[in-house]
Amino acid sequence: MAAANEELSAWLDAAVDPWIACDSHEHVYLINRAAERLLGWTREQLQGHPVAELFPQQFHHQGDQSLVRYLLSRRQALGGRPTKVLARRRDGVEVLVELTVGTSGEGEDERIVLSLRRLHEVIDTIREPMEPPRDGGEARRTSGDDLYRLVVENVPLGIFHYDTTPIITACNERLATIVGTPKRVVVGLNLMSLRDEQLMACVRETLSGHSADYVGDYAAVTSHKVTPVHIRFAPCYNDAGQVEGGVGLVEDVSERRRAERQRDENLALLITLFETAPVALGFLDTNLRYVRVNGRLARINGLPPEAHLGRTPYEVLGEGGSAAAAMLQQVLDTGEPVVGQEVDTQAVGHPGPRRLLTGSCYPVRAPDGHLLGVGVLVEDITQRRLAEEERERLYREAREAIRVRDDFLSIASHELKTPLTPLSLRLATLERRLERGESVDPTTLRHARQHILRMTGLINDLLDASRIEAGRLALHPQATRLDSLVEHVLQAMEAQRGGHELRYERPEHDVQVFADPYRLEQVVTNLVENALKYSPDGGVIHVKLETRGELALLSVKDPGIGIPEDQQKLLFERYFRARNVSTRSYGGLGLGLYISRDIVERHGGRIWVESRVGEGSTFHVALPLLTGAPSHPPASQPERHVH
Ligand code: ADP
């Protein structure tokens, strides 16, 4: 019997597939080496144990028969085809096997042989490991394996083992979830069939004893679900130290990828906001070195953004940076923001053109509250300030214009009314005398006429000023003797010169200009009238005409009140009257010089004044002389004016 057993044992050991031999009571009495390897038991440990213990509970009975008896009874029907069942290994792992059962002998001599062919290993739910027959040390090892299984099943990573083929021989539930493929499909899968070059390269690395990392998208074989994964590959060794396969630790990185994408999007958004914000922005670390500046701040500082990085404001701006540095330091020291500080770049020695800036600095903190650095917000308010100043100037001018208009209205009405009272008095006197048949005094008539002339003059000035404004003051130039024209004006003014003396100095020769004689008379009259008006009675008015080069020069000099220097350039503006002219003592609308300048300039000439307050004034007019043919086309206008 022993010899027969040995012979059987030798036969069985030579077989590639695992074999188990049982007696008629289905107790193991022999297992071959292949079965030892598959199940993890030695034959000595299993001898005498019911073979049913090698299968999970649910396989122990099929109806009222044991598994073995059931399969024997079905042998005919199966026709030698194996049956798939799970076999329990010593470590509790259940492996899928194909089982065929044979029998020989009868009664007590009956021998039953179970042939197991391993399919693929599946780590399933954790089960109690089989009771070890005797050895307590084995129990400890088994609980170590349990721990390993617990870890494998609970770790938030997918884990798979593969052999050198490389076929996946085991995996945990998590892997099936990650890749969206049932475990029974994953186990038994040949990694080659995935046709993923990068993955295969990793597998090859592990089979040659090295670790490798795979980052990519795993497409599930059945569901085609695509999962971004990171797989850490490592080789597995057998007891002899040879690589017997590998293990892959699979991390589902979809969530991380999504978070990264979200973070990238947020970052892109922030960068866009940072770069396109209509204010200058920057950030400095706690050593007050620039970490980031946007284009606007870089432009204000006069350096490209990258030239700021790692440098202090002092290094970037020189002396001009010390004010900024002090502000930043204050924020670091106090943890409080400094808001809306105005900086004049010129005043602080900032390089580049002068600008007006407002700067705010504020502490930048991490979510846990610790200080990361200082944020800087700078606004260039130069344009705004200039616009404000311009607005203020326009406002001042508008107010001034309103004041001038109001003054003018009161002056104009006063000026126009003034001659009316004496005029009506004189007319009343005349009327009375005529009624009484008395003779009429020609002086009364002359005075009445003078008042009318004065009013006509004022109204003419008003009309001329509005024509000038509208660009419609007509000129009718012709060759004109300026020397005679001046003389004529002075003669005409004899009546109104009062106690003044008019002296006329003129060249021996004729002085010809090409001009509108009526308008030139108006200019000369105005200058002489002003000289009379603004100088004390008895003063001498010097009127001088000379030629110099191509110019005729006329000056009217009086020993009068003079004109304050700051007002001199404004005299020729419309309605302007110098501040030393009180409306009471000196009537006038402030239009004479305005009209005169327009007439002179339109003749190609110039008018200006020299004066000192209290010492008198000299008004000068320069006009081009008429040399041969007229040097310029007549500036006449189609419309005829009323003289
Ligand atoms: P008006 O004499 O009617 O006020 P004008 O345009 O002729 O207007 O003169 C403008 C202003 O110039 C005068 O109001 C006066 O303040 C000043 N001005 C003109 N001529 C003289 C002068 N000869 N002496 C002092 N001030 C003068």
**Which atom of ligand 1 is nearest to 535's Cα?**
24
Beta strands at 290-293 and 280-285: parallel, antiparallel or unpaired: antiparallel
Q: For 511-538, what is each residue's pLDDT tens digit?
A: 999 999 999 999 999 999 999 999 999 9
- Please determine, for residue 389, whether its predicted confidence score (pLDDT) is greater than 70: yes
Q: For 467-486, what is each residue's pLDDT tens digit?
A: 998 899 999 999 999 999 99
Q: For 236-280, what is each residue's pLDDT tens digit?
A: 988 788 899 999 999 989 888 899 899 999 999 988 998 898 889
What is the C-alpha separation between 102 and 68, in angstroms, rounded? 9
Q: What is the DSSP letter of 310?
A: T
What is the C-alpha separation between 100 and 8, in angstroms, rounded? 18
Ligand 1 pocket, residue 581 CB under 6 Å: yes
Q: What is the pTM of this model?
A: 0.47
What is the C-alpha separation between 39 and 95, in angstroms, rounded? 9
**Which atom of ligand 1 is nearest to 579's Cα?**
16
Ligand 1 pocket, residue 590 CB under 6 Å: yes
Order of strands across the sheet with 158-163? 168-171, 158-163, 243-252, 226-237, 212-219
> Which of the pair, 17 or 27, is modelled with greater confidence?
27
**Which atom of ligand 1 is nearest to 461's Cα?**
3
**Cβ neighbour number for residue 53 with a 10 Å cutoff:** 16
Ligand 1 pocket, residue 203 CB under 6 Å: no
- Please determine, for residue 503, whether its predicted confidence score (pLDDT) is greater than 90: yes
Q: Indicate the length of the chain as a whole number.
A: 643
> Which of the pair, 179 or 434, is modelled with greater confidence?
434
CA of 590 to the centre of ligand 1 (A): 7
pLDDT, residue 27, reads 94
What is the C-alpha separation between 573 and 397, in angstroms, rounded? 14
CA of 610 to the centre of ligand 1 (A): 13
Lowest-pLDDT range, 52-66, 345-359, 590-604?
A: 345-359
In a 3-state reduction of DSSP, which class is residue 242? coil
Q: Where are the alpha helices (DSSP H) in 319-441?
A: 321-334, 382-417, 420-435
Ligand 1 pocket, residue 588 CB under 6 Å: yes
Residue nearest to atom 14 of ligand 1 (CA): 577
Residue nearest to atom 11 of ligand 1 (CA): 577
pLDDT, residue 138, reads 47
**Residue 555: HSE in the Cβ half-sphere, 13 Å Cα cutoff:** 16
Residue nearest to atom 3 of ligand 1 (CA): 588
pLDDT, residue 2, reads 60
What is the C-alpha separation between 620 and 34, in angstroms, rounded? 132
The answer to whether the CB of 525 falls within 8 A of the CB of 583 is: no
What is the C-alpha separation between 241 and 235, in angstroms, rounded? 11
In a 3-state reduction of DSSP, which class is residue 281? strand
To the nearest 10°, report the CA torsion of 305, 310, 312, 318: -60
pLDDT, residue 583, reads 53
CA of 45 to the centre of ligand 1 (A): 136
CA of 531 to the centre of ligand 1 (A): 8
> Which of the pair, 185 or 617, is modelled with greater confidence?
617
pLDDT, residue 4, reads 63
Ligand 1 pocket, residue 589 CB under 6 Å: yes
Q: What is the DSSP letter of 332?
A: H
- Please determine, for residue 162, whether its predicted confidence score (pLDDT) is greater than 80: yes
What is the C-alpha separation between 638 and 643, in angstroms, rounded? 15
> Which of the pair, 408 or 493, is modelled with greater confidence?
493
Residue with token string 């043919």: 629
User: What is the mean pLDDT of the segment spanning 452-458?
Assistant: 88
Reported in sequence order, the residue ranges of 317-370 that DSSP labels E, i.e. its strands, are 338-344, 356-365
pLDDT, residue 388, reads 92
Residue nearest to atom 16 of ligand 1 (CA): 578
Name the percent of the chain lying above pLDDT 90: 43
Q: For 167-190, what is each residue's pLDDT tens digit?
A: 998 898 888 888 888 888 888 888
Instruction: Name the most confidently modeled range: 127-131, 467-471, 511-515, 577-581.
Output: 511-515
- Please determine, for residue 92, whether its predicted confidence score (pLDDT) is greater than 90: no
> Which of the pair, 467 or 80, is modelled with greater confidence?
467
Confidence of residue 584 (pLDDT cuts 50, 70, 90): low
- Please determine, for residue 599, whether its predicted confidence score (pLDDT) is greater than 50: yes
293-299 long-range Cβ contacts below 8 angstroms, 24+ apart: 296/378, 296/380, 297/376, 297/378
- Please determine, for residue 62, whether its predicted confidence score (pLDDT) is greater than 60: yes
**Which atom of ligand 1 is nearest to 580's Cα?**
16
- Please determine, for residue 140, whether its predicted confidence score (pLDDT) is greater than 70: no
Buried b (16+ CB within 10 A) or exposed e, 338-347: beeeebebee
Q: What is the DSSP letter of 439?
A: P
Q: What is the DSSP string of 117-168?
A: EEEEEE--S--PPPPPSS-HHHHHHHHHHHHHHHHHHHSSSEEEEEESS-BE
User: What is the mean pLDDT of the segment spanning 331-351?
Assistant: 84
User: What's the whole-number average pLDDT of the chain?
Assistant: 86
Retrieve residue 574's tokens: 């419309």
Lowest-pLDDT range, 280-289, 405-414, 586-595?
A: 405-414
In 3D space, the residue among 492, 632, 609 whose CA is nearest the CA of residue 554 turns out to be 609
Ligand 1 pocket, residue 531 CB under 6 Å: yes
> Which residues have a Cβ under 8 Å from the Cβ of 146 and sit 6 or more positions away?
92, 126, 129
Confidence of residue 582 (pLDDT cuts 50, 70, 90): low
